[in-house]
Amino acid sequence: MKALTLALLLCLPVPKLAQPPRVPTEHISQRIRKGGRWYFTASGHAVYCYGPVMFVGGAQGGLKRVATFCQGERPMVPLKD
């Protein structure tokens, strides 16, 4: 009887534990924030930029103050005066 029970236990499939999916980590250059500053945009949001603040010609001929090399989709962001 013990042999039959042992044989049945050995025939059963052993479930394999699934590893949790790996979360992608940020690239090292994205984590390092050396030399950047927070700025307020003209739309009222805060943005973190690495580059210098510059003056760029506007559509009506005036000058706009912009921050360069900012995080996100836009390389230049108009700043609040």
pLDDT tens, residue by residue, 2-46: 887 878 777 777 777 777 787 776 655 555 556 789 999 999 999
Alpha carbons 67 and 56: distance in angstroms, whole number = 10
**∠ CA 19-28-30, rounded to 5°:** 110
Burial of 49 (0-12, 13-18, 19+ CB in 10 A): buried
User: Hey, what amino acid is at 59?
Assistant: A
The pLDDT value recorded for residue 47 is: 92
Q: What is the pLDDT of residues 51-73, one digit of tens each?
A: 899 999 877 888 899 999 988 88
| pTM confidence score | 0.53
What's the whole-number mean pLDDT along residues 76-81?
88
Break the chain into its structural domains and give their ranges.
33-75
The pLDDT value recorded for residue 65 is: 92
Neighbours of 67 (CB within 10 A): 25
Burial of 45 (0-12, 13-18, 19+ CB in 10 A): exposed
